[in-house]
Structure 1
């Protein structure tokens, strides 16, 4: 197999995996961890409604930091991986595929491109309202701190 195809497959596969794994980690590990309730001794009675151990004002800043880091890291990786997959879709357009696949290499790589780049419209549409509210909360708290009215910003 030619080296250009092997290298493109490595970039495309690893890029898609890093993007998907990183976003999954943020969604399932980092964000829920930020809102953990304060630790209680094992003998303490568990409260019905746990509240985060960190003030909500600080949580919005932590979320904003996670969001901004993710926004600067994952879309570029997704674009590079998708470019590699687009190259493979074009390069392997006439290559024979195993009968069990039932579709062309181009359609498989196109599917990888669409699902990988799907993070961008998802974030810009489905998550826009929530992200906007969290960002506004963080900005409002910054303004309250600057004015010396921290308690009003919480």
Structure 2
């Protein structure tokens, strides 16, 4: 394979990886967590069970998504490095580098803006509701539902980072 083939492969991996990652992350906010809330209202599922179900979803994403983000960003960084000498005025290195940075933006966003909500929800997975009086239980239910709502919103925003990366990558490819 010559370097042209590697560039084509990197373009495919970069754009499709970023688009897939965005969809994977965003689907949790559009489908998974709303379904958890619906099970509370329709079936009166205990809020601690909702927190536990959320933690299963969260833990799968925590294992699955970082490697996808790393491979995707690596492809974009490879493209940025490979196109740095194409022409002096070329914007390709900047575009591909920006696509990589946008895709990796999920990491600081998660650590800085979502970690607190994640930690609080995880704490609720270990707690039992059996010994709470009705007033305390209602307060706990409200807090878990509020945290799930906050997480849903933050996660939807987080899903936009790789989408922006995919769009920037496409602009570089098609430009």
Q: Shorter-normalised TM-score: what interval?
A: 0.7 to 0.9
Q: Write the distance in 1 (CA, Å) between the matches of 2:123 and 2:69.
A: 27
Q: Write the distance in 1 (CA, Å) between the matches of 2:59 and 2:116.
A: 16
* Alignment pair present for 1:34 and 2:36: yes
Cα deviation for residue 115 of structure 1 reads: 1.1
Contact preservation (8 Å) 2:48, 2:127: no
Cα deviation for residue 152 of structure 1 reads: 2.1
What is the RMSD computed on CA atoms of the aligned residues? 2.1
1:99-146 deviation digits (Å, cap 9, x = unpaired): xxx9611111111111111111111110111111100010223xxxxx
Segments of structure 1 that go 5 or more residues without pairing to the other structure are 40-51, 142-149
Tell me the equivalent position of 1:151. Answer: 130
Q: TM-score, normalised by structure 2?
A: 0.68
Tell me the equivalent position of 1:132. Answer: 119
Structure richer in helix, relative to its length: 2
Aligned length in residues? 130
* Alignment pair present for 1:117 and 2:104: yes
In the TM superposition, structure 1's runs of 4+ consecutive aligned residues that sit over 4 Å from their partners are none
Larger Rg: 1
Q: TM-score, normalised by structure 1?
A: 0.77
